[in-house]
Amino acid sequence: MRIVLNGLEKSFLDPSGNRRRVISAISADIAPGALVAVTGPSGAGKTTFFNLVSGLFLPDSGTITADKTELTALSERERDRWRAKEVGYIFQTFNLLSDLSIIDNVVLPHILIGNGAKGDLEKRAEESLTALGIGDHLRKYPHQLSVGQRQRVAVARALLVSPRIIIADEPTANLDDASARIVADAILTLRGRSTVFLASHDGRFNAVKPDHTIALGGEVSPCVR
């Protein structure tokens, strides 16, 4: 999916009541299937930027266009429907429901938003979880899995319906080496099929040259695809 960002600005009120600009004059023309590295120190606004790109909230000024859909012109409900169909979000925290089994954590959000029939989604979830090395844990619950295994469940949930945009916000932070490698490989294999926005300090990602680098507080590099 081609993403065009034009002059994005976003600010928030800090605890003292002063307005703090977090995103300033971000513009980019991102080709379909590109790998986009989002960089900046802690507090630079990476999560805010991801929330803008995914349509979770709107910029103060500027536009975001995904193919022919201008997100900044949609209502909140329309943006929610668009995000449910088009965006897979991999959080640093897993956001799994403790009272649901692993496979139900993967498929239930997609059933609720109409992303497919239950049987088909469960089959795809089993295949995905198996590919991620946890196919023998389908009926377990999150507390029965390691931190790395829970993150793999979150990856399977985000990628289940092949979204055209992937947002990965420090997806391997605090993972053991084996789990980090599996998660990183799963995300990098999406390059060329999905447009991937990635923020990570993991050397596995840093060793791969991105198509764009968006440095918050700095410049946006041109597309090299």
Q: Per-residue pLDDT for 73 more than 50?
A: yes
Mean pLDDT of the chain: 88
Average pLDDT over residues 56-72: 93
Whether the Cβ atoms of residue 167 and residue 195 lie closer than 8 Å to each other: no
Ranking 70-79, 87-96, 120-129, 134-143 by mean pLDDT, the lowest is: 87-96
Each residue of 89-111: pLDDT tens digit? 988 778 899 999 999 999 998 88
Q: Which domains does the chain have, with CATH numbers?
A: 31-58+75-215 (3.40.50.300)
Q: How far apart, in whole angstroms, are the C-alpha atoms of residue 62 and residue 72? A: 8
Identity of the residue numbered 116 = G
Q: How far apart, in whole angstroms, are the C-alpha atoms of residue 83 and residue 40? A: 25
Query: Which of the given ranges, 6-20, 30-44, 53-67, has the highest pLDDT on average?
Result: 53-67
How many beta carbons lie within 10 A of that of residue 220, not counting itself?
A: 18
5-25 burial, b at 16+ Cβ within 10 Å, e below that, comes to: bbebebbeeeeeeeeeebbee
Residues 53, 197, 225, 152, Cα dihedral to 10°: -140
Each residue of 9-18: pLDDT tens digit? 999 887 887 8
Average pLDDT over residues 128-137: 92
